Structure 1
Amino acid sequence: MSTQAPLVVGRPVLGSLQDLRDDTLGAYLRARRNHGDVVRFSAGPPGLRASLYAVFSAEGVQQILGTEASNFRKENDVYSEIRESIGNGLLTSQDTEYIRQRRMIQPLFTRRRVDAYASVVHGEAGATADRWATASGNTIDVSHEMAEFALRSVTRILFGADIDTAVDVVRRNFPVIGESVLRRGVAPIRIPRTWPTPANRRTAAAQQELYAICDRIIAERTTAEAGDADDMITLLIQARDEDGSALDPDAIRDQVLVFLLAGHETTATALAFGLHLLACHPEAQEKARAEVDSVLGGRAAGAADLDELPYLTRVFKEAMRLYPSVAIMGRRTVADTEIGGYHIPAGSDVYVSPWVTQRHPDYWENPDAFDPDRFAPELEASRPRYAWFPFGGGPRACIGQYFAMLEGVIGLATFVQRYEFGAVESEIPVELGMTLRASGPAHVRLTPRESSGAPAGEGRA
């Protein structure tokens, strides 16, 4: 017989609300340590208090994201706010609409198609490394630099060559949208968006500017001769369903905004912390560099090199284990269910956390330590499927996960080929926005490798 999940005892008036707001990740880690793999939080003032559940075991995560995914839907308040802010693209759509979108968009993310983006990624990585040659004090903030690199890469892939205006619009407005989603998504009472509060006005202005740049470029691509254009907006315009129907301009804009969010904020986090971890672990950095030098011999990294860079791939995976870009994922139950012997009522908000599960001592020895060799093939095969799930899983697994791996490995290869990195801070505090991010500067020292011979040109696809 299933029983009620153990309650995390909070404060007398607000329950766990303040703990979850002040330090969500810490609250989740303590809850697993003190109460086990399925816990219940009670949060909010009297009369508005809500219960939410968190599940930390790999088996429980598999049930939620995989085997019983249809019972765990993207219908909580955070997803509602994302829909209101950036539309109903692949990230938030459900049921037949999600299936239709995924079927139409899947051809844009085949391995062959994604491999063609390698030269764009290497070009932006090379330009980034060139710019570091004049870095003040030979020190950079990898959090800022990787956000810029990833943003320019995905924007060029989406929009084509002329990206400077689009990059500026996204850079200024996505943080406003993200702050609004987070604030409103966890608020016990949400003020209507139509009320002219300062926060609502800022959010509306940011949304309007993002929509306008996307709509303008979509309109230009729709009326232009496609020719050999292979930017992703052109490919979205050309995409057809089985009945020959196309995505309308609003639906294309929704997908573009999702790709901008998922394609730059998530990869930027993994790359930034990957470089920070290499800077803090010179032995791992040297091992990664030796592999890069051996495989590339000073030439540009390309898609065909990914399989030949297994240690660098492990570094990137380990960075995503310790610093998953999406540290918490939420769903809402349709029907009563049982997880780990505990009853979860219908209509409950249920959360899984890569941040916690990917540090779970049942799956990871010395879980807080940086050790890329955890991802040696034999060790990966010995762990449960959902002990590591930075890309989600099941029918809603991230469609762009191969692109993220390509961008991450090519980026790291280019940077370690050109520079040696030294640690400035041993620890980088983090905070939760729409994605995980450093809460302050994440500095590393640069030492150029004069003998690297690494070009800033295109990689081989």
Structure 2
Amino acid sequence: MSVHTRRAGSIPLRHVVPSLMRDPARALVEFGDRSGGEVVKLNLGSFRPYLITHPDHLQRVLREKSGNYVRAGDGLQWRPLKRLFGEGILSDGEYWTNSRQILQPLFTARRIDGLVDRLAVAIEEAIDELAEPARTGQPVDMGTVQAEIVCSAIMRVFFDNKITVPDAMRIMEAQDAIAWSVMPRIMVPWAPNYAPMPGDRTFRRAVQLIDDLLLPTVRAARDTAHEGADDIISTLWRGRTEDGGRLDERQVRNDTVAMVATTTETTISVLTWLWPHIEQDPTVATRLYEELDRVVGDQPVRREHLRELRYLRQVLDELLRLYPIGWLFPRRAVEEDVIGGVRIPAGATLVVSPLITQRMSMFWDRPEVFDPDRFSPEASRGRPKYAHFPFGGGPHQCLGMHLFYLEATLIVATLLSRFRFRLRRSGVPGIKVAAALRPLDRVEVTLRPVQGVAA
């Protein structure tokens, strides 16, 4: 290329591999800090991807030249997960285009806003189940509680109860097993699929369980899809591709599996860290309670309240900064390009990670501290868009972003307006790096009803 370029720096093998083995989350952030925002190579032996951390560079990769940087389906995260999700909304090219075109109308801000009260009622009814443990002082696991709340709401509102809550919970457990089982392949991305790896048997069993639960439902929905139901599975069957055709059973299955995962698991994982952070910082807790008292009072949480819960939105943004929905967005360069003065050859793999950029001291003051005020209007003014991108960016930005904010706001607001809680074990859990980020430890709490509110 005619433009002057330089060679990328490199983080050597002796630093990369041992650090990843000890503490992957900490290691990744350290790699980002060592890069200083420059494009560098991560030396993983025969595999040397480019690490992209600077917001300007991320904007080029994810938005401005997104057509040149496609999902790296042949390596890193996508190759092992593709065995679960297949071709569809979580892939690229024609399959992704068709699925996105069919599903996007279900997730527009206007449509999601229209579902708020239905979601609110479903969440409220699920939270009713906590009245008994709150009365008796029986501890509850917030990960499990949130899974039940989210599954109850999502299966009712987005899947028209075609998937039962018990089946959805079994799918959640299978997805959790899959998240762990693919880690050996994510950590050793050059290993071919045919080579046996630890976790393969667990992965196959979990995928089989998901198919056993979902395929009969997917097939049954085909016969009723024409009746105008607007749930996700019916919409997939009824949708038209760019050439006027319809999705085949395999792609409807793939997209159903993907949408069950993306509409449930993300909210469950992120919110689990909320409770330890609130307990650790009484100031944050007090401000949340005061806002809820002022905006919601002793009424059920409804659509009209959400816009006024501004501090709660800041709390969620800060949670997403520390624990982004997707922690890794690998990309492959289709054609040669230059990023930050570094030549990127065609076929190169790029590592894009919100977990890294959103915790780099170069872009964030005291990045390890939980501080919702960094998302106040004043503090956010002038911040580069891709300093905070927990849902990705560009054409592949997560469809469920608006849904997450509404769903998470409803869950947190309803729980905190009805209960006070105390952690059984103090401290914020560390991060387990899997296909999605997970808390290192369970978060168990005891609840007590807020006086004057029926629980």
The two structures have a TM-score, normalised by structure 2, of 0.89
The reply to whether residue 433 of structure 1 matches residue 430 of structure 2 is no
Query: Does structure 2 conserve the Cα–Cα contact (< 8 Å) formed by 1:178 and 1:434?
Result: yes
- In 2, Cα distance between equivalents of 1:116 and 1:297: 23
Task: Find the counterpart in structure 2 of residue 52 from structure 1.
Answer: 49
Secondary structure at the aligned position of 1:106 is classed as: helix
Measured against aligned partners, the alpha-carbon deviations of 1:310-332 in whole angstroms (never above 9, x if no partner) come to 11111111111111132222112
Distance 2:98 2:227 in 1: 26
Match of 1:3 among 2, 6, 19: 6
Partner of 2:179: 178
Q: Distance in 1 between matches of 2:32 and 2:257?
A: 35
Letter aligned with residue 422 of structure 2: G
Query: Aligned partners of 2:199 and 2:371: how far apart in 1?
Result: 43
What number of residue pairs does the alignment pair up?
Answer: 444
Matched residue of 2:370: which SS? Answer: coil
Q: Are 2:181 and 2:202, in contact at CA under 8 Å, matched by a contact in 1? A: no
Alignment deviations for residues 94-149 of structure 1 (CA, whole Å, 9 cap, x no partner): 22332222122111112232234434533443344333334374533323332333
Residue type at the aligned position of 1:451? G
Distance 1:199 1:435, change over 3 A: closer
Q: Which residue of 2 aligns with 1:443?
A: 444
Q: Secondary structure at the match of 2:9?
A: coil
Q: Secondary structure at the match of 1:254?
A: helix
SS at 2:216 equivalent: helix
Instruction: Using the TM superposition, give the Cα deviation of residue 407 of structure 1 relative to its aligned residue in structure 2, in angstroms.
Output: 0.6
2:86 is the counterpart of 1:83:
no
Q: Give the deviation of 1:428 after TM superposition.
A: 0.8
CA RMSD of aligned residues (A): 2.5
Q: Do the aligned partners of residues 371 and 209 (structure 1) sit closer, same or farther apart at CA in structure 2, a change above 3 Å counting?
A: same
Q: Summarize the Cα distance change of 1:131–1:165 in structure 2 as closer, same or farther, 3 Å threshold.
A: closer
Structure 1 residue aligned with 2:191 = 189
Seen in structure 2, the aligned counterparts of structure 1 residues 226 and 309 have a Cα distance that, compared at 3 Å, is farther
Structure 2, unpaired ranges of 5+: none
Deviation, 1:226, is: 6.1
CA contact (8 A) 2:11 2:40 kept: yes
From 61, 65, 87, the equivalent of 2:62 is 65
CA–CA distance in 1 between the matches of 2:243 and 2:336?
37
Does structure 2 conserve the Cα–Cα contact (< 8 Å) formed by 1:85 and 1:207? yes
Q: 1:24: which partner in 2?
A: 24
If the length of structure 1 is used for normalisation, what is the TM-score?
0.88
Question: How far apart, in 2, do the equivalents of 1:243 and 1:99 lie?
Answer: 11
Q: Specify the code of the residue in structure 2 equivalent to 1:234.
A: S
What secondary structure is seen at the aligned counterpart in 1 of 2:49? strand
Unmatched 5+ stretches in structure 1: 455-461
How big is the shift at 1:383?
0.1
Give the CA deviation at 1:227: 5.2
CA distance in 2, matches of 1:300, 1:238: 36
Q: Give aligned-pair identity as a percent.
A: 28
| Residues 318 and 375 in structure 1, CA contact (< 8 A), matched pair in contact too | yes
SS of the equivalent of 1:422 reads strand
Written as runs of structure 1 = structure 2, the 5 A alignment for 1:348-427 is 348-423=348-423, 424-427=425-428
Per-residue Cα deviation, 1:233-284 (whole angstroms, up to 9, x for no partner)? 2232232346543323222211111112212221112211223322222222
Distance of aligned partners of 1:242 and 1:33 in 2 relative to their CA distance in 1, 3 Å threshold: closer
Range with greater deviation from structure 2 (79-88 or 168-177): 168-177
| Superposition map of 1:32-431 within 5 A | 32-37=32-37, 38-44=39-45, 49-75=46-72, 76-77=74-75, 78-92=77-91, 94-135=92-133, 137-161=137-161, 163-187=164-188, 188-192=190-194, 199-224=199-224, 229-241=229-241, 244-423=244-423, 424-431=425-432
